[in-house]
Amino acid sequence: MKKIIQNKTMLKLSGLFILIIILMLGLWKYEINQYLRIHREFKQATAKLENYRDCLQNAEFYTQQCCQIQKTISQFEARCYQNKTPSLSTTCLLEDIQKIIDDKRDSIVRIDVLPEKEMGAGYVQIGINLKLKTSAQGLTDILYKLKTSAKPYQVNGLSVQVSSDGLLDVEMKMNAIHRG
C-alpha cells in the first residue's frame, strides 16, 4: 500500500512537472512571439529611418540644385537686364512721348521702342511703334506737337481706324533723333 501511495505521489509529481514544463513552453513561446514582433517592428522602423534619411539626402541635393538654378537664373536675369536697360536717350524719348500725348482723352495702348542706330556726333536714331486710342482732335493735337517739338520726330507710317466706341485706334511708326 505504501508503494501505491508512493506511485500516486510520483504520478502527481510527474503530472505537476509536466504541467510546469508545458506552462514554461507556453511562456517561452509567448516570449519568442513578443521578441519576433518587437524585432519585426524594429526592422520596419529601421527601414523607415533609412527611407527618411534617403529622402533627407535627396531633399538636400534638390535644395542645392534649386539654389544653383536660382543663382543661374538670377545671373541670367541680370545679364538680360543689362542688355535691355534702356539708354538715357530711350528714357528721355519715352518721357517726351508721354508729355506729347498727355491728354485726358488720349490713352496709350502700347509703345514699342526699336533698337537704337548710331548716327554719329553723339546722336542716335530710335524707332518707335506707338498704338493709342484718341479722338480726331486728339490726333490732330498729337501730330501738331510732334511737328513743333524741339526734338525731331519723323512719322513714317500712320494707320487710323474708327473703333466701336467712337474713338480712333491709331498706330504710328516714327523715328526720333536724340543725343545718345
> Does 10 share its domain with 81?
yes
Q: What is the mean pLDDT of residues 74-79?
A: 63
Q: Rounded to an integer, what distance in angstroms lies between the CA atom of residue 32 and that of residue 10?
A: 32
Q: Are residues 81 and 139 in the same domain?
A: no
For the chain, the straight-line distance linking the first and the last C-alpha, in angstroms and rounded, comes to: 136
**Do 28 and 96 belong to one domain?**
no
Q: Is the pLDDT of residue 81 over 50?
A: no
Range of the domain at 125: 88-179
Cell numbers representing residue 138 in the block: 486728339
In a 13 Å sphere around the CA of 76, the CA atoms on its Cβ side amount to 6
Average pLDDT over residues 125-138: 82
Q: How many structural domains compose the chain?
A: 2
Mean pLDDT lowest for which of 136-140, 145-149, 175-179?
Answer: 175-179
Most confident of 49-53, 87-91, 149-153: 49-53
What pLDDT sits at residue 106? 60
Q: Which three cell numbers stand for residue 141?
A: 493735337
CA dihedral of residues 56, 58, 64, 65 (deg, nearest 10): -160
| CATH code assigned at 98 | 3.30.70.60
Evaluate if residue 46 carries a pLDDT over 70: yes
Q: What is the mean pLDDT of the chain?
A: 79
**Secondary element (H or E) of residue 175:** strand 168-179
